[in-house]
Structures are given as structure tokens and as C-alpha cells.
A and B are shown apart, each in its own frame.
Chain A
Amino acid sequence: NAGVTQTPKFRVLKTGQSMTLLCAQDMNHEYMYWYRQDPGMGLRLIHYSVGEGTTAKGEVPDGYNVSRLKKQNFLLGLESAAPSQTSVYFCASSLGLAGVNEQFFGPGTRLTVL
């Protein structure tokens, strides 16, 4: 039981490049989330999904897209990376609503955009 895994762990991009971050969970959770963590700002929600085939915008969605084609996977895409997207990205999943259920977090992806 691996829990929540994220690929890759580290990545360096040049401005304008694109990339996809992969999140996978093996707990059969319905809800999945992408957060970014920046110094002094805590975790901010980018996008989330309440089930396979669904996605919704969070607090800071601009510049990101997501897809949830399979229940166990949640992909975060950056179409044209900008230095402001330098951050640590965390994926999380939960059995039910995040507001009332424990979230399980992946180990994070550290992204640097030059």
C-alpha cells in the first residue's frame, strides 16, 4: 500500500516549457487535490476533483490544467511555465469531503522555473 505517490520529485523548467505532474493513489479515494506550497503562504488549493472525470477550480487555478481520467490518477499540467510557478506541489486524496475528512498527502514535487 503506497498511499499517495507523486512523479517526478524534482524538476527544473525554462520559462515557456510545459510539463505534467502525476499523482497516483491506491486507497480508492474519490477526492483528489493539487496544492502549491510557498514560503509564508501555507498550502493553497490549485484544482481538485470529486470523482473520476470531474475537476474543479481551487483558490489559485490560473496557469494550470488538470485531468482525472482514472479514479486513481490526478494529473496537473503547466502549459507554459512561468517563474511565478516555482513552488513545491503536493497532491492529496481523501475518502470524502476535504472539509471533514482526513487528507493523505504525497511527498511533493519541487519545481523550479528559470
Chain B
Amino acid sequence: AQSVTQPDIHITVSEGASLELRCNYSYGATPYLFWYVQSPGQGLQLLLKYFSGDTLVQGIKGFEAEFKRSQSSFNLRKPSVHWSDAAEYFCAVGANFGNEKLTFGTGTRLTIIP
């Protein structure tokens, strides 16, 4: 069974600073990896996803993530954060072969300070 670890519960960064949120997964084959964002009081929205091919994937709102098989990681990055990026971020792993379910990490809450 697949699993996801997000080691950072809460991260605070200054507006304009760069951001990296960590995600480590466990899965026996090539995983399907997702990052979702949850703004306060809202449902989750897909930021980006990785299935295969180029290991650096671009998403919405200026986010990108890099898949590193050797490190079992799929870290989310943004070069310069905006106050509107304050939210909770969830990494998730899925799989093909008839897998109807997505496994979510516990989330990282991002606070932006002026």
C-alpha cells in the first residue's frame, strides 16, 4: 500500500521569499503524485500532478514540483511567495492498476508574513 509523509506541519515564510514544501512517498512502482492546496474555509484544489516523463512539473499559481525517484520525494517549490499563498498544502499519492483511492499526507500549513 502507498503512503505519504509531509515532515513539516507548519512553515512560515516572508512574502517574496522562496518556498519549498517537502513530500516523501512510499510505493513499490512508479507512483502518481499530486499536490493539492486548501485555502482557509475552502475545499481542495489541484496544483499539479506527476505521472511520467519530465520530472519537473509545472502547476498553477506559479508552483512547480520535482519528482526524485532516488529520494522518493516530490517537493513543491515556488520562487517568490505571495500573501495569497497562505493555505494548507497536501501531497497525495495514487497508483494505476485499478486503484480507486488517493492517499493524502497530513498537510503542511503555510503562513506568509509581510
Contact = CB atoms under 8 A, between A and B. Distances in A.
Contacts of A40: 9, 106
Contacts of B32: 99-100
Nearest to B2: A99
Interface string A24-56: 000000010000000011111100101000001
Query: Most chain-A Cβ atoms within 10 A of its Cβ — which of B9, B44, B90?
Result: B44
Contact of A43 (B46, B49, B90): B90
B107 A103 contact: no
B51 interface: yes
Contact of A99 (B41, B42, B46, B101): B101
Interface residues of A, number: 25
A4 to B, nearest CB: 7
B83 to A, nearest CB: 22
Contacts of A50: 100
Contact of A58 (B41, B44, B101): B101
A99 B102 contact: yes
B70 interface: no
Interface of B: 9, 32, 34, 41-46, 49, 51, 90, 94-96, 98-102, 104-107
Interface of A: 4, 31, 40-45, 48, 50, 56, 58-59, 90, 92, 97-100, 102-103, 105-108
